[in-house]
Structure 1
Amino acid sequence: MAARTTGSVLIVTEADDLHGDALAATLRKHHGLSPIRLDMRDFPRENGTFRVSRDGTSRSLSHILGLDDASSVWWRRPQPCVVPGSARGVDDDYRQAECDGFLQGLLWSIPALWVNDPGADRTANRKLVQLETAYRAGFAVPETLITNDVDEARSFIDSRPGPVVYKRAGTGRGAFTETRIVTAADLARLETIRNSPTIFQDYIHAECDLRIVWVDGMEWVVRIDSQSGVGRVDSRLDTSVDFTADRLPASVSKSLTTLMGALGLAFGVLDLRVGLDGEFWFLEVNPQGQFAYLEIKTGLPIFESLANLLVLGDGTVNG
């Protein structure tokens, strides 16, 4: 992608998001830019305005300077507006929808480079979409069932030749939930999936796990020695094991490029598992995934790559 001049960089995330802090520091260090920070929870406590006139369009938020100057946006961790409830609770849903719709429209109307495009980000967050797209992109995908049908789930678990894991199907905010192997105790409470569709998937006996940060074609690959610690089922549970920079085979890299292009994502954090059979198994991609610890563990210049994408339109890092 060709280099470009830039105005401001807008970071949309929670005020206390460490990834937002790290990117802001990287932008100052490498590009001499102080980004605009926006926590969507501040609206409607702060005033917002969008205007169309003969001279064009303009948008403003009372606590943000230079919003119209933003030429790139990191859509990191958008939040719903925090709308005070009415005394009787009447029309609370209406006011929430009006505030969310206004602020989203105000931001989405900015003619900027979006990382990621909000529409693509929302669609790609759906794990069913990810699995379908990964399969079509040529990835190996573990045998999977996602359902709220208790009989279907039980039949799937009984039919598999080895262990089956289960994990959440949704992506909403909430407490961390780990991936677990189905046990007899889990089968006894299978009825609970009726109101919470769940992913059931073949457990892949692993050599290691890979976490890949994709920055518009740049692949920052980290090999996680997950099988030497307590994170054998879920590599997120143990950061004490070895983390090393790695590379993907050309065929896997090709599937990754196809996947991210089909999802319309310029950025994402992917989890792959390398099986004992040597296969690279796709698990998921998170358009808003955590990656700061990967840079700390390996020294890979991931934040610099992201900063370059937002400022120059190219995530390449020189040197």
Structure 2
Amino acid sequence: MILVVSYPGEEHTDDVVSRLERAGREVVRIDLADFPAASGLSCTWEPGAPDAYRVHTPQGEVDLARARAGWWRRVRAHTLDPLVRDPDAVAFALSETNEAVSGMLDALGCPWMNPREADAAAHHKPLQWAVARQVGLTLPRTLVTTRPDDARAFIAELGVGKVVFKAFIAILEAWRETRLVEAQDLEQLDSVRFAPVIFQEYVPGVDLRIIAVGGKLYTAELDAQDTSYPVDMRMVIGEAKVRPAELPRALEDRLLALQRRLGLVYGAIDMRRTPDGEYVFFEVNPAGQWMFAQERTGLPISQAVADHLAVMADAGAREVVRR
């Protein structure tokens, strides 16, 4: 059995799950938002009996102890019964639910794409950048700060129009594109003290979305230089010129080393190739999207993810037999 932890309607998950099921694989999908309001769980440890981790799904009760591989992708927060209203009770119920569900998943002992702890740590960009430099990747000049004077000095040194500012993570409640620092933004720099801001040297060139699945890389080149918003290719995917691309072998080795150091099986890596051929690393998203690149290039990324999960499940089954 392959366990998928994601939410309904996530198109990447839907595509991969359908491929696994067509290949005859048993897939059980759970949504963390169902616990505890819509889905029950019972975990038991009994003398002389195997550990059991039973959850209720739309298909019926399933013992997650049968999972031979897990896929952790774009999860949602737990939700409570609306009868639980007192703030202290809400905090307590959510904390208890997280302890039970997280512990249950971590106890399964199967291989994961990605391991949950590694996935959580790798979402932190300062860690990514530190490891990226250690494996030999090139980064743009970068400042993370809550000090307005440091922000002013960084911008003054590089020049207005040559620095971008961006958010650490894209959240639905407050999504923000990457923006160039313009003259009018200088008046707002005092607001940096309210929350950390990423400032980076603007790097012109062609964007690369590199999908790492296990030890393989699938690269799409997204040329947004002549679009209406070349600063952030996410804003102009439909305008960009998209095609498959090849990376230098030495760069591939460094990217795979980054994945290993971060403990990631899957990652969506963003880089930019400058006009003089330098490759600059921006970030790796442990749950990044690939469908937009797959649809425009024909790169078989969904199938690669499905195949790797199947390989992981087979390896997990062999490990159970050896025990």
TM-score by length of 2: 0.90
CA distance in 1, matches of 2:149, 2:89: 40
Corresponding residue for residue 69 of structure 1: 66
Q: Give unmatched runs, 5+ long, in structure 2.
A: 314-323
Using the TM superposition, give the Cα deviation of residue 146 of structure 1 relative to its aligned residue in structure 2, in angstroms. Answer: 0.4
Corresponding residue for residue 293 of structure 2: 294
Q: Is the 8 A contact 1:24 1:34 kept in 2?
A: no
1:57 paired residue among 38, 46, 51: 51
SS of 1:282's partner is strand
- Which amino acid is the alignment partner of residue 196 of structure 1? A
User: Cα gap change, 1:51/1:237 in structure 2, threshold over 3 Å: closer, same or farther?
Assistant: same
2:21 paired residue among 28, 38, 41: 28
CA distance in 2, matches of 1:167, 1:251: 29
CA distance in 2, matches of 1:34, 1:71: 10
Q: Is the 8 A contact 2:53 2:63 kept in 1?
A: no
Corresponding residue for residue 319 of structure 2: none
CA distance in 1, matches of 2:122, 2:171: 13
- Which amino acid is the alignment partner of residue 28 of structure 1? E
Q: Is the 8 A contact 2:213 2:267 kept in 1?
A: yes
1:82 paired residue among 75, 79, 85: 79
- Which amino acid is the alignment partner of residue 99 of structure 2? G
Using the TM superposition, give the Cα deviation of residue 20 of structure 1 relative to its aligned residue in structure 2, in angstroms. Answer: 1.4
User: Cα gap change, 1:171/1:94 in structure 2, threshold over 3 Å: closer, same or farther?
Assistant: farther
Matches within 5 A, 1:56-205: 56-63=50-57, 64-84=61-81, 86-161=84-159, 163-170=162-169, 174-205=173-204
CA distance in 1, matches of 2:180, 2:171: 22
Deviations 1:18-75 (A, max 9, x none): 111111111123x222411111000102211111123221101122524222111110
Corresponding residue for residue 303 of structure 2: 304
- Which amino acid is the alignment partner of residue 239 of structure 1? I
Using the TM superposition, give the Cα deviation of residue 111 of structure 1 relative to its aligned residue in structure 2, in angstroms. Answer: 1.6
User: Cα gap change, 1:109/1:231 in structure 2, threshold over 3 Å: closer, same or farther?
Assistant: farther
Using the TM superposition, give the Cα deviation of residue 139 of structure 1 relative to its aligned residue in structure 2, in angstroms. Answer: 0.6
Corresponding residue for residue 285 of structure 1: 284
TM-score by length of 1: 0.91
Deviations 1:173-212 (A, max 9, x none): 5343111100122211112222221100000011x11000
CA distance in 2, matches of 1:231, 1:116: 33
1:38 paired residue among 24, 30, 36: 30
Matches within 5 A, 1:229-244: 229-240=227-238, 241-244=240-243
Deviations 1:207-239 (A, max 9, x none): x11000000111000011111212411111112
Matches within 5 A, 1:224-263: 224-240=222-238, 241-263=240-262
Corresponding residue for residue 221 of structure 2: 223
Q: Give unmatched runs, 5+ long, in structure 1.
A: 1-7, 315-319
CA distance in 2, matches of 1:59, 1:168: 38
Q: Give RMSD over aligned pairs.
A: 1.7
User: Cα gap change, 1:184/1:84 in structure 2, threshold over 3 Å: closer, same or farther?
Assistant: farther
CA distance in 1, matches of 2:53, 2:15: 27
Q: Is the 8 A contact 2:5 2:73 kept in 1?
A: yes
Deviations 1:286-308 (A, max 9, x none): 00001111111111111111111
CA distance in 2, matches of 1:170, 1:292: 19
CA distance in 2, matches of 1:108, 1:231: 42
SS of 1:247's partner is coil
SS of 2:287's partner is coil
Corresponding residue for residue 4 of structure 1: none
Q: Is the 8 A contact 1:113 1:310 kept in 2?
A: no
Q: Is the 8 A contact 2:211 2:269 kept in 1?
A: yes
Q: Is the 8 A contact 2:162 2:181 kept in 1?
A: yes
Higher helix share: 2
